[in-house]
Amino acid sequence: MDKYNLIMDAEQQFAREVTLGVIVTRPLTAWHYLIPGFFIIDFLRRGSAIRQYTQHFMFPRKLAINVAAAQLQGQTDQTVSMDSSDSVKSWLESLNLYSPELVQAHLALIDILSEHYLKLLTTEGDEFNTLIERAYPDRGHFEEFIETITAAENEVDRQVMDLLGGNPNVREKMLAEQQQIAKRRQKILEQVF
């Protein structure tokens, strides 16, 4: 498997684990026990939530790895950045979440991710954790990346919350997702270093 697909598969698995972590921490309601077959409806709903979250989580990551791949092929940063900006704008408009600030927050996230992916793409290895271990000289450098990416993701979340008017349900869900992301990244950190 080539490194591009290896990285994308690992990121998709990460997104699924985050979603499952959020879903599993949500307690079952009395309806799960009282209505026969409710668990099937809930199972389908959860499957849909996993697909939706994975799709949203992967959008900037796909753009970022494409930016990194384009840089490897010698394309200029300006051309690639304009393409990313247009893609982010169109995607956010399709979700009814467009704001110039949110576009900028996503572009900052994409820049950080593309640097990370460029390191991984130029490193030898056939497993995701091996790529991380070889791309980052030590635990401290990888922890620095985690702090940087977390701050960028939190800014994206903050911009989304501003657009949605501080909806408490959305805020609670975002907080649960952030906690799961932190747990998953800590797990990777411990596995690799």
For the residues 63-88, what does the mean pLDDT come to? Answer: 84
Range 93-97 average pLDDT: 92
Q: Three-state SS for 166?
A: coil
pLDDT surpasses 70 at 133: yes
- The pLDDT of residue 82 is 73
> In whole angstroms, how far apart are CA 7 and each of 50, 136, 188?
19, 15, 14
Residue 138 φ then ψ, to 5°: -160, 175
Query: The whole model's pTM is what?
Result: 0.84
Residue 2 and residue 124 in contact, taking contact as beta carbons nearer than 8 Å:
no
Residue, of 141 and 176, whose pLDDT is higher: 141
Residues ≥6 apart with Cβ < 8 Å to 135: 116, 119, 120, 122, 123
Average the pLDDT over each of 21-25, 56-60, 95-99, 169-173 and give the range with the smallest value. 21-25
Nearest to 46 by CA among 25, 73, 76: 25
How many Å apart are CA 121 and CA 124, to the nearest integer?
8
Q: Which two tokens stand for residue 186?
A: 């800590």
- Of the listed ranges 142-146, 165-169, 188-192, the least confidently predicted one is 165-169
The predicted structure's pLDDT at residue 166: 76
Residue 103 has pLDDT above 80, yes or no: yes
